[in-house]
Amino acid sequence: MRLKLFFCIVLTFSALSRVNAQQDAQYTQYMYNTVSVNPAYAGSRGYLSITGLYRSQWVGFDGAPETQTLTLNSPVAENVGFGLSIVNDKIGPSNETYFYADFAYTLRMNSDLSLNLGLKAGGNLLDVDFSRLEGSEIDPRFQNNIDNRFSPNVGVGAFLYGEKGYVGVSVPNLLETNHFDEGIFNDDEAVTLLAKERANLYLIGGYVFDLDYFTKLKPTILTKMVQGAPLQVDLSVNVLFNDKVRAGLAYRWGAAISGMAGFQINDSLLIGYAYDAELTTLGSANSGSHEIFLRFELFRSTGGTLSPRFF
């Protein structure tokens, strides 16, 4: 029993150390959720943009990750953008919520190219309910839960974009924080479990090709690098038909393949869905991952015809 409990604890804390580094808070439809990892994206669309996203990962696997995200960003003055991000991650007995404010300043490189520089500031609240672990009731080390432990953090980013393409780099969590230490356990215990928040480096890019008057093709890439973890690469390609219907495929290097679909209900409202099929041995223990998002945008009246930007 103790061996099983110890295995569960190690697995949970290993996941936590990755979540705190935003490794497990991953998104297949990252191209619609850019501001959550790069503060420089704030305000770049030119109007108020509100996105809600729900992800259920590894459905059927007990204690699998579940993520809810709400982001808002908008220009607030000439060359100034502002954003807010709330992300809630649940993995096993842990529940972690991030709160961040984003600020971006735009440098106009020329008539077609802009460079946004961004700052992100906020923190996260961590709860861990050890009673959800099988066998925890007989182990004195896990009798005290963790409630609303707050850790501050800051991040930076840059986002270079034009009418057709973009590239961005960001480190959304510069501060490395230890969430667990020996104080949680008995002094005579040799085992120490540690979840450390490590700085992540994100690189993102994409370009929109006009295939014909009604069809656009957009390949994108997202890479995440963090000390102590393998390089993660997400590749995707989406097609937009008549500025209404979106469809695409994605590949998370060595991990999953995904299908995506979206529909522009009207000028302001976009809904999208993605399904991931796991390619690792973990795939035999779950029925895949589901992700759905809804984006609402409030446009300024310009008197012209609106063609929603494809990124």
Q: What's the average model confidence in pLDDT over 34-38?
A: 92
Whether the pLDDT of residue 131 is over 80: the answer is: no
CATH number of 25-129+141-180+195-300: 2.40.160.40
Which amino acid, one-letter code, is at 14?
A: S
Whether the pLDDT of residue 64 is over 60: the answer is: yes
Q: What's residue 191's pLDDT?
A: 45
Whether the pLDDT of residue 2 is over 50: the answer is: no
The single residue listed with the structure tokens 């494809």 is 310
State the DSSP string of 188-235. Answer: T-------B---EEEEEEEE-EE-SSSEEEEEEEEEEEETTS--EEEE
Name the E strands within 41-145. Answer: 48-56, 66-77, 80-91, 94-108, 114-128
> Which of 11-20, 55-64, 109-118, 211-220 is the least confident region?
11-20
Task: List pLDDT tens digits, range 230-280.
Answer: 889 999 999 999 999 999 999 999 889 999 999 999 989 999 999 999 998
Q: What's the average model confidence in pLDDT over 173-197?
A: 58
Whether the pLDDT of residue 20 is over 50: the answer is: no
Whether the pLDDT of residue 147 is over 80: the answer is: no
Its pTM stands at 0.83
Task: Tell me the Cα Rg of the chain.
Answer: 21
Give me the residue spans of the domains in the chain.
25-129+141-180+195-300
Q: Does residue 221 or residue 226 have the better pLDDT?
A: 221
Q: What's residue 133's pLDDT?
A: 65
- Please provide the average confidence, as pLDDT, over all residues in the chain: 82
